[in-house]
Amino acid sequence: MNVKRIAVVASILCIVGGTVGGCTNAASDNKSATKTDTYTATNTGSQSQDSNQNVKLRSVGVTVGDLSNPFFVVMGKGAEAEAKKIGGNNVKVAIVSSGYDLNQQTNQIENFVAADTDLIILNASDSKGIRPAIDKARQAGKIVIAVDTGVDAEVDATVTTNNLQAGEVACKYIADRLKAKGNVVIVNGPPVTSVIQRVEGCQKVLAKYPNIKILSKDQNAEGSRDGGLRVMSDLLTTFPKIDAVFAINDPSGVGVDLAANQAKRKEFFIVGVDGAPEAIQAIASNDSLYAATATQNPRGMTQKAVQVGNDILHGKKPANPTILIPVKLITKENVSTSEGW
C-alpha cells in the first residue's frame, strides 16, 4: 500500500480515536522537561477572562515532520503530557506525521478542523506552502501554534529553539577547532524556517574566517539518517579533503558518520543540532567522528505550546507571541553533563 495513503488514514484514525497510542510506536518516557523561556499572558481586548473561565481544553492536534525521528516522538509526548495535565485524561490528543509532504500536512490540518479540534500544534513541512491551510484553520476559529520552526503565515504563537543561535554556536565550535582554516561541508535539510536559520547562523560565523572554505551548502539530506548517508556519500566522492561537517540536525549527522565509516574517511569531524540520544552517545564514544551538537528541548517546546494555546483559549494572549528557547553546545568535554530528552 502507498505509504502516504497509510499516513493519511492513520491521521484520520488518530483524530477519531483521540489517542496518541496509535500514532507512535515509542515506549513511554517519564522524564520531566527542562525549563524553557517564560512568557507573560495578557487578557485579550475582545474576550474577557470571565467570559472564558468555563472554557475547557477538549482536544489537541499535533502534526510533525517525521515520527521516525525520535525528536518528533518526544515532541508528541510533551504535547500529550501537558494536555492531560491541563485538561485531564478526557482530553483527546492526535499526533500525526506529515513525512515532510505538504499536501499530506494540509490534509491533516483540514482533518483537525473537521474534528473540531481546539488547538492545532504545527511543525511545518514547508514554512511558506502551509500558509493556506493555516489561514483556513484560523478562519474556522482554531488556535494554531507553530513549534520548532516558524511559518510564513499569521499564527497565534510560535515556540521554537533559537535556531539562529544553534547554527552560530555549532559553527563557532567548528571555526575554533579548525583554528580558522579548512574545508567545511554543510549538510542542509528541508526548506523550513528552522533549517534556514541554522544554516544562516552557521554561514554568518564562518564568513568571518577568510581561510575557511564552504565546499557545499545546498544538498538537502531531508533531515534523516538515510538522507545524510546519501548526501555525504556523494560529497565524499566529490571532495577529496573535508575538515568539518555541519549537519542541520542529528539524524542527518549520524548518516554523515555512517557514510564516513563506509568510505573509510576519518579526516573530518561532525557537528549537528538536536541533542539526540544517538548523537550524545556518538559524542561520548571514541570511535565516532561526531564532535558536538547544539541541544534542543523538544518536550519543552510542545509543553510550552500547549500552555500558551490553553491561555489563548481562555482569552489570554502571550505578551510576546514568539518564544525562543536557547541552546547549549554539547561536546566531548561536557557530554557527561547532558540531561538528554
Q: What is the mean pLDDT of each run of 10 residues along the chain (341 residues)?
A: 40 38 34 37 45 80 95 97 96 97 98 98 97 98 97 97 97 98 98 96 98 98 97 98 98 98 97 96 95 96 98 95 95 92 88
Beta-carbon neighbour count of residue 30 at 10 Å?
6
Q: Is the dihedral of CA 79, 81, 83, 89 positive or negative?
A: positive
Residue 198 to residue 149: CA distance in whole angstroms: 11
Would you state the pLDDT for residue 4? 39
Longest dimension (CA), the chain: 67
Would you state the pLDDT for residue 53? 62
Would you state the pLDDT for residue 276? 95
- Characterize the bridge pairing of strands 269-274 and 244-247: parallel
Question: What is the chain's percent helix, strand, coil content, to nearest 5?
Answer: 40, 20, 40
Angle between helices 131-139 and 102-114 (to 10 degrees): 10
| CB environment 246-270: b (16+ within 10 A), e (fewer) | bbbbbbbbbbbbbbbeeeebeebbb
Alpha carbon distances (Å) from 10 to 5, 16, 75, 187: 8, 10, 18, 31
Task: Tell me the three state secondary structure of residue 143.
Answer: strand
Alpha carbon distances (Å) from 149 to 83, 194, 327: 21, 5, 15
Contact, 131 vs 49, CB < 8 A? Answer: no
What is the reported pTM?
0.79
Would you state the pLDDT for residue 313? 96
Nearest to 124 by CA among 105, 110, 143: 105
Alpha carbon distances (Å) from 6 to 12, 61, 110: 10, 18, 17
Across 102-239, the runs of DSSP E, i.e. the strands, are 119-122, 143-147, 157-161, 182-187, 212-216
Would you state the pLDDT for residue 55? 82
Beta-carbon neighbour count of residue 325 at 10 Å?
21
